Amino acid sequence: MDVERLRTEELEKIQERKLKVLVHYVYSNSSFYRKRFKEAGVNPWDFKGLRDLEKLPFTKKQDLRDTYPTGMFAVPPSKIVRFHASSGTTGKPTVVGYTAKDLETWAECLARGLASCGLTKEDVLQISYGYGLFTGGFGFHYAAEKLGTAVIPASTGNTRRQLELMRDLKTTAIACTPSYMLYLAESMDAADINLRMGFFGAEPWSEETRKRIEEKTGMDAFDCYGSSELSGPLFTECREKAGFHIWADHFLIEIIDPETGERLGEGEKGELVVTTLSKEALPLIRWRTGDITHIDSERCACGRTHPRVGRIAGRSDDMLIVRGVNVFPSQIEHVLMEIPELAEHYMIFLDREKGLDVMKIQVELRSENNLDTDILRKKVARRLKSVLNLATEIEIVSPGKLQRFEGKARRVVDRREI
């Protein structure tokens, strides 16, 4: 049976069965969900399946922090074979535990995605995501090995060594953040490098940045998606590059209005909500990811029938509010990358002057070929104002002046509360 091409009706039957089992499972094994269900008036024995999904309570990141470290786990310690955790830079870290079956499911889901992009056992995948409590490196590592793909566990940093490994071991695919790929591209000689595809995520990036990466390296650049709470990187685009395939036999997705929690329809943009149908250690009911996107349930041109979600437009908790205007950093990046005179490196600074918010953007030139930077600055400011409906201060800086990042890019500096 090719599970990736099951009819929608068959996928819904799988989801119906698994969701009913999940509701009973968490009620019996998770004190957190047992209490939450009682508060919401949910009786597992009266639960009818998909049609009752909206009766189930949401789960938020704060719930994991409030029950730190393992208060939401649904298995005893003896069943846990691995822990991962978020950095905890904005509060308590979120700790995720895995059973052996959870790790197998994780590898299977991402392996499906990598295969849909064309990764095979003939490839050599260089993994330049971090290994450790961060999930990125391990996710790609075990998924690629499941496909029989050779893996170079390079981890982050040491750019000279990264390029040497690419050249000497004939790396054909890479997994890293898009900002680090741009950094690598500045130093690599495309004639010496055999890269044909890359898998990029862990930070927001735009379609224009994809074009820049592909132009600079000659590779196919694929977007990937996941979160540490769900199991790190889980989903990718396929060769069609028309959204992430969400494997419906393991995950149930919804889109809601982030303000009201109201469920939205097909194609409407809102917050992605995910229910895990197969996880044992840390099952999540209606997990609010904070990521803004939309659902497309039409059969993909690749033939896969599982629903897709569009490119992440931003995160509800990454959204900047400047003078009452909602701004996503990805909107700014999209505008900047459309202007050919500008390079890929930029920074956003937020200050408060005389009680008013001020947004300043520094962006590098691609080259200093006698450009009139004042004219260019005004052009950038006009483009941004037309998109954001907000005036910004623009500073054009020389090539190479801004900081480069070997892990996740940190492009926003909010100094309004300092």
pLDDT in tens, 241-289: 999 999 999 999 999 999 899 999 999 999 999 999 999 999 999 999 9
Strand partners, 226: 233
**207-217 vs 178-187: helix crossing angle, rounded to 10:** 30
Q: Nearest to residue 11, comparing CAs of 242, 227, 246?
A: 246
Q: Write down the domain spans for the chain.
A: 320-414
State the Cα angle at 176 between 170 and 181, rounded to 5°. 75
Half-sphere exposure of 370 (CA within 13 A, CB side): 0
d(CA 71, CA 364): 46
Closest listed residue to residue 409, CA positions, set 340, 318, 310 = 318
Q: Please give the residue that has the higher pLDDT: either 331 or 24.
A: 24
Residue 270: closest CA among 284, 285, 249, 253: 253
What one-letter code names the amino acid at 199?
A: F
Q: Is the CB of residue 200 less than 8 Å from the CB of residue 182?
A: no
Higher pLDDT, 63 or 86: 63
pLDDT value for 91: 62
Give me the pLDDT at residue 329, please.
Answer: 86
Q: How many CB atoms lie within 10 A of CB 223?
A: 20
Model confidence pLDDT, tens digit, residues 37-69? 999 999 999 999 999 999 999 999 999 999 999
Question: Which amino acid, 263?
Answer: R
Residue 88: band (very low, low, confident or very high) from pLDDT cuts 50, 70, 90: low
- Using CA atoms, how far apart are residues 382 and 360, in angstroms rounded to an integer? 14
CA–CA dist 162, 9 (Å, integer):
46
CATH superfamily name and code, 320-414: ANL, C-terminal domain (3.30.300.30)
Segment 1-36, tens digit of pLDDT: 699 999 999 999 999 999 999 999 999 999 999 999
What is the pLDDT at residue 172? 98
DSSP SS3 for 10:
helix
